[in-house]
Amino acid sequence: MQQRWGLPIVAWPARLRPGLWDVVALPLVIGAIVLIGWAMKEMSVPYQAGDELPISLDPWMLPEYGLRSVLRMGIALCFSLVFSLAYAALAAKSPRAEKLMVPVLDILQSVPILGFLSITVTGFIAIFPGSLLGYECAAIFAIFTSQAWNMTFSLYQSFRAVPVELREAARMYHLSAWETFWRLEVPYALPNLVWNMMMSVSGGWFFVVASEAITVAGQNTSLPGIGSYIALAIDQRDLAAVGWAIIAMGGFILIYDQLLFRPLLAWSQRFKVEAITSDESEDAWFLTMLRRAQVFRIVTFVTDIVVGRMSRLYQRLAPPRRVRAREVSHTYSRGIDIAWAAVLVLGAAWSLYEVIVFATTEVGWSEVLRVVLLGCATMVRVVVLVALASLVWVPIGVWIGLRPAVAHRAQPIVQFLAAFPANLFFPVVVFLIVQFHLNVEIWVSPLMILGTQWYILFNVVAGTLALPTDYILVASNLGVSRWLWWRRLILPAIFPAYVTGAVTASGGSWNAAIVAEVVKWGDTKLVATGIGAYIADNTQAGDFPRIALGITVLALFVLAFNGLVWRRLYNLAEERLRLD
């Protein structure tokens, strides 16, 4: 008690003495710190709009550019983590906040990510005038928006799903709210969170590439990174440089995977509540190194002390648990509920009024109608593409899924393909369209699903793998074959998994529309009719009202599409076709 504020008596435990793994680990740690320091300095160099940032097509510059891109990704990931923890905790704990926060999150999820970039970039530049940092922040923010919502939803759902008896045990043994959060809720949410982080980062590479070449009111700014490198290669019609960029990106994704996600995934296994220890075979050499090297034990040792102190501090500062007078608080809280609902309704009404005023004065109703029609054009593309991708990948996915040995080998490849930013391949496709004079309206479309089709394949494989062998044996025993086999056995069995994959694929396609409907190769610019092209063009021109209009309509399309199509299919899958 008395020594609470004194220095901690640090007994140097025997397990913290240096070992063989440290020989490898120590230089790694120091190297990483130095690199991050250097890149941070580079990020905040003085910069005025219009200045030339020299980007070189020399392949040897790619490691440096790649590092800058990777770092942006890392920073965005940290922010996403902090944001999602705070947001999800609040939404899960306060029913009042929940009423607003969950729908808001749902809408944020439907807003196209590059739309965030178009809208926020001017603001960030104003915050850091005369420095590159404003542009860096805008790019990082765009990457952040591609990760945060997804992670927040996962955390929110996990927080709500913590088993009642575990919560009761935490209360029974007098864990404070702070301790319950860090020792029960966060650990419980970890396995899902790590998986979602990995998926988010996969999707994020696309936006890392897309957000580095920023145009504000006609002024091009290229942040050093792989995205800018490829933008320059497109500008100079350098197909070889595109190839180098693709190779370098592949390398960086592999490194990210090996150094960050393999270890994280393997480590998060122990937070799983189910008593299964199947995926223990995750090949995580880096985790082994971390576990063996004493350097990192010191890190955990110190964090333990810090977290311990924090929770003591919290216990001291937090007010003692109030004893509520139940009767009084009941009517009182109902009053607040009503007031809160009134505030929300009024806020919504006021916003709606503003939107109508904006639409009539700034852009005009005919423009709104035109944008809605453009949205329909893009929707047709998305629907056709998801259908085509399904026709291709469902049979292939089932074929792979029925052969566990093949599936085991294919899994990392598909995961890698899903992570690979498809926009790096755009120049190749555009080059082909130009060469063979193909129809732009049709042949630009595949770009939209290039990166996200893998989710369909991935989920179909997983769904087929999960199908109990008994079912397949019964089918063959009864002589069920061909079309009947698909209709009565496979399609219903993989449907829930397929829907999950198709939702992701269609969401990704909407997002990709902004970069896929306008593509360039040198001076040649190919434009397809659609809402994505509308947003891209107006971003180029710096026309803020039209950007806002385009993004709002696109978001509404995504919301409606999700609500009317995917959610229904999802419910159907949940209610009728679950295997248990």
Partner 1 sequence: MIELPLVEAKQVSKTYQTPDHAGRLVLDSIDFSLREGEIVALLGKSGSGKSTFLRTIAGLTQPTGGSVVYRGRDVLGPAHGIAMVFQSFALFPWLTVLGNVELGLEAQGVPKQERRQRALKAIDLIGLDGFESAYPKELSGGMRQRVGFARALVVNPDVLLLDEPFSALDVLTAETLRGDLMDLWTERRVPTKGIILVSHNIEEAVEIADRIIVFASDPGRIRAIIPIKLPHPRDYASPAFRQIVDEVYGLLTTVPGREGGKRGQKAEPLGLGYRLPSASVQQLNGLLDTLMEPPFKGRADLPHLAEAVSLNDDDMLVLIEAVQIMGFANVGGGDIEATASGRKFANADMEERKQLFAKALLAQIPLAAHIRRVLDERPGHAAPETRFLRELEDYLSEEEAERVLESVINWGRYAEIFAYDYDRGVLSLENPGA
Tokens 């047709």 — which residue? 380
What is the spatial distance between Cα 242 and Cα 245, in angstroms, rounded to a whole number? 5
Binding string, residues 114-153; x marks residues near partner 1 by CB under 8 A: ----------------------------------------
Residue 115 neighbours by CB under 8 Å, 6+ apart: 514, 535, 547, 550, 551, 554, 555
What is the spatial distance between Cα 88 and Cα 153, in angstroms, rounded to a whole number? 7
Q: Which of 93, 183, 292, 370 binds partner 1 (CB under 8 A)?
A: 183
Helix (H) or strand (E) holding 442: helix 440-443
Q: Which of 26, 102, 175, 259 binds partner 1 (CB under 8 A)?
A: 175
Give the residue with the Cβ less far from partner 1, 265 or 377.
265
- Both tokens assigned to 8: 């901690």
Among candidate residues 365, 376, 367, 370, the one with its CA nearest the CA of residue 561:
376
Residue 525 φ/ψ, nearest 5 degrees: -120, 120
85 close to 186: Cβ distance less than 8 angstroms: yes
Give the residue with the Cβ less far from partner 1, 312 or 370.
312
Q: Which of 126, 172, 317, 405 binds partner 1 (CB under 8 A)?
A: 172
Segment 151 to 170, residues that bind partner 1, using CB under 8 A: 163, 165-166, 168-169
- Both tokens assigned to 488: 């009565």
Give the residue with the Cβ less far from partner 1, 11 or 564.
11
How far from 159 is each of 43, 178, 194, CA to CA, in Å?
Answer: 36, 14, 14
Min separation Cβ 171 and partner 1, Å: 5
Min separation Cβ 167 and partner 1, Å: 9
Binding string, residues 231-270; x marks residues near partner 1 by CB under 8 A: ---------------------------------------x
Give the residue with the Cβ less far from partner 1, 172 or 391.
172
Binding string, residues 273-292; x marks residues near partner 1 by CB under 8 A: xxxxx---------------
What is the spatial distance between Cα 313 and Cα 203, in angstroms, rounded to a whole number? 39
The stretch near partner 1 (CB under 8 A) out of 39-47, 174-182, 367-375, 493-501 is 174-182
Give the residue with the Cβ less far from partner 1, 52 or 274.
274
Beta bridge mates, 520: 525
Among candidate residues 486, 467, 490, 465, the one with its CA nearest the CA of residue 411:
465
What is the spatial distance between Cα 422 and Cα 466, in angstroms, rounded to a whole number? 29
Give the residue with the Cβ less far from partner 1, 184 or 503.
184
The stretch near partner 1 (CB under 8 A) out of 135-143, 179-187, 387-395, 545-553 is 179-187
Q: Which of 237, 272, 291, 297 binds partner 1 (CB under 8 A)?
A: 272
- Both tokens assigned to 144: 């952040």
448 close to 512: Cβ distance less than 8 angstroms: yes
- Both tokens assigned to 234: 């497109």
Binding string, residues 300-339; x marks residues near partner 1 by CB under 8 A: ------------x--x-----x-x--x-------------
Among candidate residues 566, 202, 207, the one with its CA nearest the CA of residue 382:
566
Give the residue with the Cβ less far from partner 1, 418 or 573.
573
386 close to 505: Cβ distance less than 8 angstroms: yes
Q: Which of 173, 437, 469, 479 binds partner 1 (CB under 8 A)?
A: 173
Helices (H) and strands (E) in the chain, counts: 26, 4
Residue 89 neighbours by CB under 8 Å, 6+ apart: 155, 159, 181, 185
The stretch near partner 1 (CB under 8 A) out of 271-279, 449-457, 471-479, 521-529 is 271-279
Give the residue with the Cβ less far from partner 1, 171 or 487.
171
What is the spatial distance between Cα 292 and Cα 283, in angstroms, rounded to a whole number? 16
Binding string, residues 478-507; x marks residues near partner 1 by CB under 8 A: ------------------------------
Residue 24 neighbours by CB under 8 Å, 6+ apart: 289, 293
Min separation Cβ 304 and partner 1, Å: 10
Give the residue with the Cβ less far from partner 1, 177 or 259.
177
Give the residue with the Cβ less far from partner 1, 167 or 370.
167
Return residues touching partner 1 (CB under 8 A). 163, 165-166, 168-169, 171-176, 179, 183-184, 187, 190, 270-277, 312, 315, 321, 323, 326, 576
